[in-house]
Amino acid sequence: MSHFLPLSRVTKLVGTSRHALQEMIRGGTLDTFDGMVELNELLRAFPEAKWDDDAEFRRITEIKEKAFGKRVFERALPDKEVLAARLFELGNDYAATKALLMHYSQVLSWLDEKIDEIEEDQSTETRHALHTVRAFIVRHLAEIPPDAAKAQAVIAQERILKIMSAHVTIQPSGHEFFVESNDTLLEAALRAGVSLNYGCSNGNCGECRARLISGEVKKVHAHDYVLSQAEKDAGVFLLCSCAAVNDVVIEANVAGAQDIQMQQLAAKIKSVEVFNPQVAALHLLAPRSQRLRFLAGQSIRLSAHGVSGHYAIASCPCEERHIEIQILRKPGDAFSELLFSGLKAHDSVEVEGPYGEFVLEDASTRPVIFLAFGVGFAPIKSLIQHSMSLDLAEAMDLHWLADGAGHYQNNLCRAWADALDNFTYIPHAHSDDVETTLANIVTDYPDLHRFDVYAAGTAAQLQIARSLFLKHGLPEQRWLASSY
């Protein structure tokens, strides 16, 4: 019996990126069938993998030992009805496999009797041949294949993954993500950087409507009154009210920058993080009932104590209620002065936005160059985090050209580079000769036509960079920039 595993789960089992697997498939070192990997092929292609040392198993062991507090314990497990449905499905799988094995065993007994019957009136040669066949079957049934223990470990891990998470494919965009713990489909999508349409997050507006194409979803929040019976009968459900019971395919709209409406909300300051005398981060918390909906790379207007300013968001939409802004202290920018002198935790800040279309081409699998000038690092940081969640880009190179404020989040960038095989961080020291620095960068990319470039800096810096990158072969439509 062949056992096939979907590519998305293989990434989790072997702890590699989807891109790395696709490279192996393209290079002929991993065979797939219909987007699935056969178990023996998986064992062949990853002989070094440690199938019995998996983070998911360890997590479950910890849960079993009640090492977590009650809240974490509840968050780590799926909703109890979803968990029951997944276990029921697993039980069905087990029962079907057992029934099949019983059937095979019956066929073998029947074959054994048949051989006895046939043997009676046969010549010595035929009896010998039948005896050899029987011995062959008995020997092979008794032999344990060398990879049996590994195969068993892979299947056991895959089963655990299936209990703990469900895989979601969105049509027509083709986005994919996993729903883990007791998340709704909407929460899981946002966490994975997939910008699905939504409004209230609590079942009242109906903007998160989606249609189930295959698989099963379960209502985990009671509210779905905005749906008519005819819609429900047609498989329409609310992403903010439902969790996925098993792997599902759904039809839903993935929002672009133009689809997101202007919002106004009062956020609270969680903390002010001063990196150095020139740059500080403002960490805001949106109200529980009104998260800010935005795409990575967009900006917002902030107002407090009668002054306001317009800044890029440095956090990722996957961070739920948390919004981070990085602000350069500038004479004449009253809000920046206020940040350094008067704002403190628990103060209220009015937020308006989002603005701008400096967002990720999220269907692109091309390699990416992120070019950050000074505090232009803020929207770039948001885009990088989004790109990491999507896990589609072939490679990501971050060039951070420091201004007087330096590489104020150097450790974070180095941590990204340490953690990800396809991420490279190249800091460039402050220099008055930006043109020479940029000229050195472009010469490292003889194949610029293959890249997407996202750049954030002052208008003058961006103008120099754009003309150099285009001159060295970057297609004009692949230059995406935002000035501050």
**Where does this chain bind ligand FES (CB under 6 A)?**
198-201, 203-208, 238, 240
Contact in structure between 246 and 210 (CB atoms under 8 Å): no
Cis ω before 354 (30° cut-off from 0): yes
Paired tokens of 276 = 């150095």
In 252-393, DSSP assigns E strands to: 263-274, 279-285, 299-304, 307-312, 322-328, 348-355, 368-373
Using the minimum distance from each CB to ligand FES, give the nearer residue, 186 or 441.
186
Using the minimum distance from each CB to ligand FES, give the nearer residue, 238 or 260.
238
Using the minimum distance from each CB to ligand FES, give the nearer residue, 208 or 369.
208
As a whole number of angstroms, the distance between CA 165 and CA 247 comes to: 9
Please state whether 357 falls in left (phi above 0), alpha (psi between -120 and 50) or beta: alpha
CB of 204 to ligand FES, least distance (A): 6
CB of 327 to ligand FES, least distance (A): 31
Length of the chain: 484
CB of 239 to ligand FES, least distance (A): 6
Using the minimum distance from each CB to ligand FES, give the nearer residue, 246 or 290.
290
Using the minimum distance from each CB to ligand FES, give the nearer residue, 25 or 226.
226
CB of 78 to ligand FES, least distance (A): 20
Give Rg (Cα) of the chain. 28
DSSP 455: E
CB of 222 to ligand FES, least distance (A): 12
CB of 238 to ligand FES, least distance (A): 5
As a whole number of angstroms, the distance between CA 127 and CA 133 comes to: 10
Amino acid code (one letter) for 232: K
Question: How many C-beta atoms lie closer than 10 Å to residue 40's C-beta?
Answer: 14
CB of 83 to ligand FES, least distance (A): 23
Using the minimum distance from each CB to ligand FES, give the nearer residue, 193 or 203.
203
Q: Is 282 helix (H, G, I), strand (E, B) or coil?
A: strand
Using the minimum distance from each CB to ligand FES, give the nearer residue, 242 or 351.
242
CB of 202 to ligand FES, least distance (A): 6
Using the minimum distance from each CB to ligand FES, give the nearer residue, 208 or 405.
208
CB of 312 to ligand FES, least distance (A): 26
Paired tokens of 390 = 């999507």
As a whole number of angstroms, the distance between CA 250 and CA 237 comes to: 10
Using the minimum distance from each CB to ligand FES, give the nearer residue, 198 or 311.
198
As a whole number of angstroms, the distance between CA 61 and CA 52 comes to: 13
As a whole number of angstroms, the distance between CA 62 and CA 69 comes to: 11
As a whole number of angstroms, the distance between CA 60 and CA 150 comes to: 20
Paired tokens of 51 = 């199938």
CA 145, 43, 93: angle at the middle one, nearest 5? 75
As a whole number of angstroms, the distance between CA 452 and CA 458 comes to: 20
Using the minimum distance from each CB to ligand FES, give the nearer residue, 183 or 207.
207
Using the minimum distance from each CB to ligand FES, give the nearer residue, 204 or 365.
204
CB of 295 to ligand FES, least distance (A): 16
Q: Name the residue with tokens 């160059």.
A: 369
Look at the alpha carbons of 308, 311, 316, 317 in this order and tell me if their dihedral is positive or negative: positive
CB of 241 to ligand FES, least distance (A): 7
Contact in structure between 287 and 266 (CB atoms under 8 Å): yes
Q: Is 75 helix (H, G, I), strand (E, B) or coil?
A: helix
* Nearest Cα residue to 312 out of 357, 370, 368: 357
